[in-house]
Amino acid sequence: MIKNIKILVCFFLTTSVFISAQQQTSIGKIPNINLKLLNGKKTTVYKLLESGPLLMDFWATWCKPCKQVMKHLNEYHNEFNDQGFQVLMVNQDTPRSLGKVKAYVNSKNYDFLVSIDPNQQIAKKLNGQIMPNLILINTDGTIRWRHQGYMPGEEKEIKEQIEALLSVNKKE
């Protein structure tokens, strides 16, 4: 057990130092991913980015904190939509509960985009398996900010990040 703890601690320290050094303006780029939307239509991430920056979030109908943050994300989708900003919610329900997703989204009157990822392949490509998982993407496909999990009060930071990105884009 002691040996395992030592291995874990070394690995953890190395990783966190490496990751901390990586915290720059951009955290990499996003691949162009095919999306199937809840209304049956198909598109890609880069097609959505043609309108403006995109905030992606991974969620499921059984994920409690995911549903808590969705209310705020819908507000931001509507508030900043005139600047081209959109929110894309990527649903992770498997075929076992996939049928309920659209009914849930409709009952909440959400306006943001929803795509389905029943075999979690989009989540795997973007390391979004821990939910909720927010990824803020600029129009050139660069990832500007990421965040895992949600606690009440974090919606303020989410909004600040969106406003900061839109503000940078305006100056450019």
Partner 1 sequence: MRKKILIVLFPLSLFAQSNPFSLFDLDFWNYNAGIVLNFGDSYDDFTYMENRMDLNFFKGNFTGWLQYEYSDPPELGFPIKDLRKYRLEYASGPWSLKLGDVYEVWGRGLVLAQLDDQGIDFDNSTRGYHLNYKLENISVSQMSGRTKNAQLGSDLRYPEFEFTHNMDATNIEFDVYPFNFGLSFLQSNELHQLKPFGVMDTVDINHRLHGGYVSWYGSVVDLFFEYVDKQSELRTYYTNFSGDEVEVLSPLKSGSAVYLNSNLYLGAWSLFFEYKRYSFDRLSPVDTDYIINNYGNRIDYQVMPILYREQNHSFLGRAAHQTNANDERGIQFELSGGLPNGFQTVTQYSHLSRNDTWNSISPIEWNNNRVEGIMPTNSINALPYKEFYTEINGYLLDSKLFFKTAFGMNQEIPKINRFFEGVSQAVYENWVYTDSLWYGDEWFYLDSQIVSVDTSITNIETKLYQKAKSFTVPIDLTYTLNNGYSIGLAFAYQERYKTNIKKGNAGGFYNYADSSWVLNDIDNPNVYTEQSTSNYPNETPFQINRMISLSMGKASKWAVTLNYDWTNVQDIVTVDPNYNPLEALIYGDSKYFKGERDKSNPPPFTQNKWVSMEFSYNLSSTQRISFLYGSIQGGLVCSNGICRILQPFNDGLKLSYSAVF
Structure tokens at 35: 């999306």
Residue type for position 159: K
Of 10, 51, 125, 167, which lies in the binding site for partner 1, with binding defined by CB under 8 A? 125
Q: Which of 140, 157, 164, 168 binds partner 1 (CB under 8 A)?
A: 157
Q: Are 113 and 48 in contact (CB under 8 A)?
A: yes
Strand partners, 56: 88, 135
124 makes contact with partner 1 (CB under 8 A): yes
CB of 113 to partner 1, least distance (A): 15
- In the bound state with partner 1, the residue whose beta carbon lies nearer, of 25 and 109, is 109
Residues contacting residue 58 through CB under 8 Å, at least 6 positions apart = 66, 90, 92, 117, 122, 123, 126, 128, 129, 131, 132, 133
Q: Is 167 in the site for partner 1 (CB under 8 A)?
A: no
In angstroms, what is the minimal distance from the CB of 46 to partner 1? 12
Tell me if 128 sits within 8 A of 135, measured CB to CB.
Answer: yes
| First CA to last CA distance, the chain | 54
Query: Shortest distance, CB of residue 20 to partner 1, whole angstroms?
Result: 7
Measured at the CA of 101, the angle between CA 71 and CA 152, to 5 degrees, comes to 25
Quick check: 26 binds partner 1 (CB under 8 A)?
no
| Binds partner 1 by CB under 8 A, chosen from 51, 119, 164, 167 | 119
CA angle 123, 126, 127 (to 5 degrees): 75
Residue 44 contacts partner 1 per CB under 8 A: no
Tokens describing residue 39: 């209304």
Cβ closer to partner 1: 37 or 84?
A: 37
Chain residues in the site for partner 1 (CB under 8 A): 1, 4-5, 8, 11-12, 15-16, 18-20, 22-23, 27-29, 31, 39-42, 61-64, 68, 93-100, 102-104, 106-109, 118-121, 124-127, 129-130, 133, 143, 145-149, 151-154, 156-157
